[in-house]
Amino acid sequence: MLFDPLNLFVIGIGIALSLCASSITKSRFRKYSQYTTRSRMTGAQVAQGILDDNNIRDVRIERVGGELTDHYDPRTKTLRLSQSVHDSNSMAAFGVAAHEVGHAIQHAKSYAMLSFRSAWVPVANMGGGLSMFVIMLAFFLGGTQSATGASLAWLGVLLFGCTTVFTLVTLPVEFDASSRALKCLQKGNYVSEKELDGARKVLNAAALTYLAAFITSLITLLYWMFRLGLLGGRRD
């Protein structure tokens, strides 16, 4: 089954989408990292400025290692920016820093989709960890050809579906954070129109990684439903 041509095709699509999205994101980030903004502020300073503009006083900013490791941790209210963003005054740095502040703003305003995603993390982790074991067991018990196999098949795809739901919910969360970021950059007069366009292109490229993750999870879920006989009948 691991060498099922259809399975290999699905895996290949997932890998291709992930690599393509990652390549575009890194390429766009590096391109706009070469353009210095007029204000000469660093990504950390822009992030702090936007936090202040939104009256958010309880979020701290930290520098972290790695490339594109930037993220907001709602559990500790910490905004972590990679060095290439934290210390840079480029269009790319402004876009990424503002995007992460967008998540902090979502948290402060109790944005429903962010709250749901945060609450769904343990469910997705559990589903991802157990799903393949249950799916394999269901497959070897004949899938829908037996009552036990059918029950396990549905349980397996439901568990795997937990991760698919997580990747789906991530899309509006990330898109909303980018929208907030661009509005804050413009409203706070942190960038010119040209610089704002550069930041927008970086964030649009980054969005592709989340879209690729969702598509990959969805087609994998559909593949297992098909193989287990839950979609289109029994498949041996």
Cite the active site residues.
100
Tokens at 215, concatenated: 């598509």
What burial letters (b/e) apply to 162-186, b meaning 16+ CB within 10 Å?
bbbbbbbbbebbbbbbbebbbebbb
- Least Cα distance to 72 among 42, 120, 105, 46 occurs for 105
Residue 86 near residue 125, CB atoms below 8 Å: no
| 131, HSE (Cβ side, Cα atoms, 13 Å) | 20
- Least Cα distance to 224 among 172, 154, 162, 165 occurs for 154
